[in-house]
Amino acid sequence: MTRESWTTRTGFILAAVGSAVGLGNVWRFPWMTAENGGSAFLLVYLALVLAVGVPGLLAEFVIGRRSRRNPVGALASLSDSDRWGVVGLLPVVTTVLLLSFYSVVGGWILRYLVASASGAYFDAPGPYFESVSFGPAAVGYHAVFLLLTAGIVLAGVRKGIELATKVMMPAIAALLVGLAAWAATLPGAAGGFEYFLAFDLGYLRANFASVLGAALGQALFTLSVGAGTMITYASYLGEDRSLPADGATIAVLNTLVGVVAGLVVFPLLFAGDLPVGGSGPGALFVSLASAFATLPGGRVVAVVFFAVMTLAALSSSISMLELPVAYLADEHGVARRDATAGLSALFLVLGAVNALRPAVFDFVASTLVDLLLAAGLLAFLLFAGWVLGRDAVEEFREGAGSLGDALATPWLFVVGVALPVFLIFTVITGVLGIAGVSLGTGAVVGLTAAAALAAFAALRRAGSVV
Ligand code: PHE
């Protein structure tokens, strides 16, 4: 079977931006912001996108382009060891879990698109969300969202993913800017801007460990880093693209969309005089629905808003489905059609569990996903830094001109040493935080350094370090 590739460089960039721009920017971001002290969160999150997200994204690009395989095949073939292939199964698990809750939220959005047009939630937004969010109806909408996703993936890399994102991304950008312009005219918009943008350093100081963990999870989630989707997308690349230039473009566009989405969402919440502090996955739906129900022209704006969210969600969900499809096609010779159909059946069931059990949904959507993304990224970083080593530098520089020459070696250090230590530190403090244990920072730093060293030593013993 010949493997497909992107038609154009823009096609790849738009597909990757499509994967990045999604519910993470519009729905999960305000939810996480509200749970973590408002604007204090934004600052840490932006710093982490730059310091962790971008180098991590480039590690995935390097692995993907060099191997031209899905994550399992990529790690196995580049290392000549099946043991790394087993590590490569982690992203398969991650994307399966991701899509199983993401598709449920995608279903909520479709439902709200329809309900905005009919005004179904206008009288009682709170009870409406309660009645539709979990249960048989949620399973139905999840199934529709999944079908749309599968339809695009079924059409292939060029005729499906590339074509769809080429249409969707400009539409999302244009509509979102229009929504932000409208939101700025709302009474109370200033309060929304302030909540979003006035950095609350006091909160940050008091809750540093938990904010750090949540911001890291969000930075990875929003850039689609740590899940292996970017390995998969880069595996359809030719040699002539500059990975650092493409990575920077993707990160900038994704961040812009995130900030503009914030400029839409927060003024809306404040215009409705609604409690922004209300957190949890449903808060945004309830609060926004209340705002749409009371504001003049709310119905039309609501339809536009949920249409944007539908496009954003689909352009991400296709990347989640593409990874296991590519895995089955590359490694087991399964035809795209059969792989897509079989996986969709699996997602139908897993999504239904999420749509019927709020506790499962909550755990998967926040804690579990954060941990899996961090673990996946750690594996990719160690792989690029220690298994590929010099080859990673070579791949990084390929097609990247003087920018590549200047950045390749510092990037390898960041990827092989600085970020693994930081990730281990953050995950340990995060897990301890969840468990309610409070340890001195010093002890945690010590633990972290020890764990990082042990990991490196183990790799060295396994003979996979250059
Ligand atoms: N980045 C996507 C979003 O913001 C979510 C995603 C995560 C997609 C990981 C693929 C892989 O919605």
Atom 10 of ligand 1: nearest residue by CA position: 224
User: SS3 of 289, please?
Assistant: helix
DSSP codes, 202-234: HHHHHTHHHHHHHHHHHHHHHHT-SSSHHHHHH
The percent helix, strand, coil of the chain (3-state, each to 5) is 80, 0, 20
Question: How far apart, in Å, do the first and last CA atoms of the chain sit?
Answer: 33
Q: Tell me how far the alpha carbon of residue 221 lies from the centroid of ligand 1, in angstroms.
A: 5
Q: Which atom of ligand 1 is nearest to the CA of 316?
A: 8
Q: Identify which of 17, 19, 233, 308 to mutate to test ligand 1's pocket (most ligand atoms within 8 A of the CB).
A: 19
Q: Which atom of ligand 1 is nearest to the CA of 223?
A: 1
Distance CA 52, CA 409 (A): 16
Give the pLDDT score at 466: 43
Q: 226: Cβ below 6 Å to ligand 1? A: no
Distance CA 380, CA 378 (A): 6
Q: Which atom of ligand 1 is nearest to the CA of 319?
A: 10
- Dihedral of CA 120/125/126/132: which sign? positive
Distance CA 50, CA 30 (A): 19
Give the pLDDT score at 279: 55
Q: 316: Cβ below 6 Å to ligand 1? A: yes
Residue with tokens 């709020």: 358
Domains and CATH numbers, the chain: 9-408 (1.10.4160.10)
Q: 227: Cβ below 6 Å to ligand 1? A: yes
Give the pLDDT score at 314: 97
Give the max Cα distance, the chain.
Answer: 67
Give the pLDDT score at 186: 87
Q: What is the pLDDT along the chain (466 residues), one digit of tens a residue?
A: 578 999 999 999 999 999 999 998 888 887 777 778 777 788 899 999 999 999 999 999 999 999 999 999 999 999 988 899 999 999 999 999 999 999 999 999 999 999 999 999 888 888 888 888 899 999 999 999 999 999 999 999 999 999 999 999 999 999 999 999 999 998 888 888 887 777 677 877 888 877 888 888 889 999 999 999 999 999 999 877 899 999 999 999 999 998 898 889 888 888 765 655 555 667 778 888 888 888 888 899 999 999 999 999 999 999 999 999 999 999 999 999 999 999 999 999 999 999 999 889 888 887 788 889 999 999 999 999 999 999 999 999 999 999 999 999 999 999 998 899 888 877 777 666 655 555 555 566 666 666 766 666 666 655 554 4
Give 148-170 as a 3 state SS string: HHHHHHHCCHHHHHHHHHHHHHH
The residue among 230, 223, 239, 248 whose CA lies nearest residue 74 is 230
Torsion angle, CA of 268/271/275/276, rounded to 10 degrees? 40
Atom 9 of ligand 1: nearest residue by CA position: 224
**Is residue 113 within 8 Å of 132, Cβ to Cβ?**
no
Q: Which atom of ligand 1 is nearest to the CA of 320?
A: 10
Q: 103: Cβ below 6 Å to ligand 1? A: no
